[in-house]
Structure 1
Amino acid sequence: MRSESSLSKRGRDLTSDRLGPNAREATEKIGLYNGPWDPETNPDGLINLGTAENSLMLDDVAKFVNEQNINFEGEAFDYSEAWGSLRLRKAVSGFINTHFHPHSPTTAANLTISNGCSALFNALGNVLADPGDGILLTRPCYIAFGSGFGLLGGMTPVFISSNKIDQFTPDILPQYEAALKSAEDRGIKVKVLVLCNPHNPLGRCYPPSTLTAILSFCNMYKIHLVADEVYAMSVYSESDAPFTSVLSLDWQKYIDPTYFHHVYGMSKDFASGGLRIGSLWTLSAELQRAVTALANFHHSGTVNALLACNILEDKAFTASFLAKSRQRIAEASSLARDLLDDAGIHYTPANAGFFLWIDLAPWLREEDGEDEWIRERKLIETLIGEKVFIAGGQMHNAEEPGRFRFVFTREQKLVREGVNRLKKVCGIVGRPKVAHK
């Protein structure tokens, strides 16, 4: 067996915590529990409120697929096009044209399919930048952006701090400028900015005024804008800004087409994380050729493609499914807010996605050390010890310790039990309801 010292530098990087906690070790540590929670068969199992998936719609996807009576032919098991069959690319393009309302219709010719959005981030990190180049990310941000672009591509995260400014307004642009200048002062050449709309983990959408400001910013500095809109159809309320796709804007007024790229996938809106379908739309022929060259390493599989086509081509089903999903997400969100309010736990306003950004800073313990980030990690360990998992803010590059991404798209009884365990860890007996602006 090869010792670690015999690995290449890249191999040693992959074993380090340079890009965050080792996912396999963390998962297997959590896996020491005796299975997932079930109130009857496994009451001591783990409550998972950390993985962002819509469990409320899994059975609906399975039911639809089972009713298709798909009779696979031999060609369903050949290699097919690694960058996505023409049928699948047409199905994805048609879905985007119907639901994202692009200013100019997308076409199959401008789409590349991969086995999930993370694989696309990996490919983009390899072809849009050189190792050490920067990627601009808001704080907090989705956990896997840094590793997606950096693990193999070697890109360096450059975080945009909000400094108490609402990052969904154009007022945030000076902070983008400050982050860019800080990177340049450190010798980092920023090549990419990732726009997560709706935002993960904040659960909010960007209004058109902010989107156009970001487009103009990227154009001014020749930065590639990668718009990740994977939660586009999971906006369950218009209490805040509704979803506006960047594609729906007359975006070519603001940015050179070769610097704008759009990513979407079926993992979130279609509760199909296991299907592994992600799409990249770009008008840059050069970028498309480069990503296609890597497609053999990120092939989503022909069987997966056929299942995805059956889902996306059935417009009546997709419309009904998405409407039902939004209703269930809204109901789950309402329950989670009521439970958190009753516990006196604050959260930020949100109207999209599967999660709330909650504040557990009041329950970080002084006895766990002077460093509040260490206190946050200790709280996570204590929560896992009580068999409840919630992703901490440090994993999301939060600006302040004590913030957590609370995923609520689970069965009601599971969410209730999870909050009960959270209250137990924090010593919350009963508190008055709190107001959220």
Structure 2
Amino acid sequence: MALSQRAQTLADAGRNNPFWNVMKDIWSPANPNGYVNVGIAENSMMHDELLKYINERHELPVKYLTYNDGGSGSSRLKAAISGFLNRHMKPVTPLEPGHVTATNGVSPAIEHVVWSFADAGEGILLGRPYYGAFIPDISLRLGGSVVPVSFGDLDPLSAEGVDKYEEALLEFQQRTGKKVRALMLAHPHNPLGRCYPREVLIKLMEFCQKYQVHFISDEIYALSTFENTVDEPPHVKFESALSIDTTGIIDPRLVHVLWGMSKDFGANGIRLGAIISQANPDVHTALTMPSLYTYVSAHTDYLASIILEDFAYTDWYLHENQKKLSESYAHTTKYLKDHGIEYGTGCNAAFFVWMNLGKKYRELHPEDECEDIGDRVMQRLLQKKVFLVSDSLAGSEKSGWFRMVFTQGQQHVDLALERILAAMDE
């Protein structure tokens, strides 16, 4: 049966995407020959604790079998999100329920804000390397144009790098005749695992004000920070965009923050995201109808409210999770150092090590003069049944760099590292 052109394009592309084969054949003690997946950003280290908490409190009231308060989340949920983020994000202006639209995950939240600010073909600035799923979130159904920003030898999180956003904006607008409507930021950064310094956030906001571009800060890893005990400083502390007084910097109507429970609570399956726009009520009004397609389930609405309202529990949970993140990062990077694998230092947030497997492969196989080192390494990794995010998936300017997730438990991480090294050595 003939499909639409857009559906056929995706059907063809999906057949060649190794990710779906990996997801169907995941390693476990019962499936020892499956893929060790350290590509998908999941944190399982606190699963037992969160599951115990949820199962002790799972008594769903009857109102949650109805449409409740509508597609953008119940009044209770919005109040719970506001109270929780007021406690941890330190916003200059305290969050109120009316500042929040809830979604069934942050990917739908990204779609919603892009839909709100950009028409098809208009640009969204995205610094390299980037979270690969930003590309379909922005362009797949909405037709937004991703405008990748290259930095060369500059640190993508530096003040000097801000000028590269302006170069990319001007080039795109001159080449296409279309406007750039927003700048999308992963803060903390995915895949680099670092936080933007406050002065860089301010400079980016000033740039957005100059060109009347929306500043969107995806802060899904905001509370997944940790103490880096192994790398030399500096380790930049996380500060939310909400904590910056925008007076004299940017029109607050242009500032928006995204957050969700997938990462900070290791609960990708709960499917809860939040769009926070404090000074632009039209955003929430415009999303009233589209929110029907991203309705937060009753179970998620209720459970998330219970969890986020319990400050004693969430304070303990976040502290324990951050401790485990620190330990697992130290364990993983020690292995990389011991085996001579270069990685990006200075991480203190999120779940990733950004490592140079291409360089290691070249050292071990100087006779192999392949041009696309990233593709060669990826082929070898898949042959050894281990999956990482490659340079091409992350839009890396440098070939051979890969993103490894270190938050699946020590047995899983050790097995992944062993297979990675085997893929390099063979």
Asked if Structure 1 and Structure 2 have the same fold, meaning a TM-score greater than 0.5 normalized by the shorter chain, the answer is yes
Q: What residue in structure 1 maps to residue 371 of structure 2?
A: 371
Pairing partner for 1:229 from 219, 227, 237: 219
* Partners of 2:67 and 2:304 in 1: CA distance: 16
Q: What residue in structure 1 maps to residue 63 of structure 2?
A: 75
Q: What residue in structure 2 maps to residue 26 of structure 1?
A: 18
* Partners of 1:266 and 1:14 in 2: CA distance: 29
1:124/1:149 contact within 8 Å kept: no
Q: What residue in structure 2 maps to residue 356 of structure 1?
A: 353
* Partners of 1:26 and 1:166 in 2: CA distance: 30
Once the two structures are superposed, what CA deviation does each residue of 1:229-260 show, in whole Å capped at 9, x if it has no partner? 11011110264110011111102431112211
* Aligned-pair CA distance for 1:293: 1.9
What does 1:1-400 align with in structure 2 at a 5 Å threshold? 2-4=1-3, 7=4, 9-15=5-11, 17=13, 22=14, 25-31=17-23, 33=25, 35-38=26-29, 41-68=30-57, 70-80=58-68, 81-187=70-176, 188-237=178-227, 239=233, 240-282=235-277, 283-349=279-345, 350-362=347-359, 363=361, 370-372=370-372, 375-400=373-398
* Partners of 1:161 and 1:407 in 2: CA distance: 24
* Partners of 1:407 and 1:32 in 2: CA distance: 19
* Aligned-pair CA distance for 1:366: 7.9
Once the two structures are superposed, what CA deviation does each residue of 1:314-338 show, in whole Å capped at 9, x if it has no partner? 1000000000000000000000001
Moved more, 106-115 or 167-176: 167-176
Q: What residue in structure 2 maps to residue 435 of structure 1?
A: none
Amino acid at match of 2:260: G
* Partners of 1:380 and 1:408 in 2: CA distance: 18
1:165/1:172 contact within 8 Å kept: yes
**Structure-2 change in CA distance of 1:165 and 1:23 (3 Å):** farther
Amino acid at match of 1:114: T
* Partners of 1:203 and 1:409 in 2: CA distance: 13
* Aligned-pair CA distance for 1:410: 1.7
Show structure 1 runs of 5+ residues with no match: 429-437
* Aligned-pair CA distance for 1:125: 2.1
1:135/1:158 contact within 8 Å kept: yes
Pairing partner for 2:408 from 407, 410, 415: 410
* Partners of 2:9 and 2:408 in 1: CA distance: 35
Q: After TM superposition, which residue ranges in structure 1, 4 or more long, deviate above 6 angstroms?
A: 365-369
* Paired-residue identity, %: 33
* Aligned-pair CA distance for 1:371: 3.4
2:60/2:302 contact within 8 Å kept: no
Amino acid at match of 2:167: A
* Partners of 2:369 and 2:179 in 1: CA distance: 37
**Structure-2 change in CA distance of 1:32 and 1:289 (3 Å):** closer
* Aligned-pair CA distance for 1:15: 3.5
* Aligned-pair CA distance for 1:42: 3.5
Show structure 2 runs of 5+ residues with no match: none
Q: What residue in structure 2 maps to residue 433 of structure 1?
A: none
Once the two structures are superposed, what CA deviation does each residue of 1:5-55 show, in whole Å capped at 9, x if it has no partner? xx2x433444354xxxx399533322564x4232xx433232111111111
* Aligned-pair CA distance for 1:369: 7.2
* Partners of 1:127 and 1:133 in 2: CA distance: 12
Once the two structures are superposed, what CA deviation does each residue of 1:396-425 show, in whole Å capped at 9, x if it has no partner? 100011110011112212211111111111
1:392/1:404 contact within 8 Å kept: yes
* Partners of 2:215 and 2:60 in 1: CA distance: 39
2:220/2:258 contact within 8 Å kept: yes
* Partners of 2:396 and 2:124 in 1: CA distance: 16
* Partners of 1:145 and 1:267 in 2: CA distance: 16
Once the two structures are superposed, what CA deviation does each residue of 1:334-378 show, in whole Å capped at 9, x if it has no partner? 000011111111111111110111001121678877431xx4223
* Partners of 1:189 and 1:15 in 2: CA distance: 30
* Partners of 2:358 and 2:19 in 1: CA distance: 24
2:157/2:197 contact within 8 Å kept: yes
Secondary structure at the aligned position of 1:90 is classed as helix
Once the two structures are superposed, what CA deviation does each residue of 1:207-238 show, in whole Å capped at 9, x if it has no partner? 11101000000010011111111101111026
2:117/2:181 contact within 8 Å kept: yes
2:226/2:325 contact within 8 Å kept: yes
Tell me how large the CA RMSD over aligned residues is: 1.9
Secondary structure at the aligned position of 1:394 is classed as coil
* Partners of 1:253 and 1:272 in 2: CA distance: 38
1:204/1:352 contact within 8 Å kept: yes
1:368/1:378 contact within 8 Å kept: no
- The count of residues paired between Structure 1 and Structure 2 equals 414
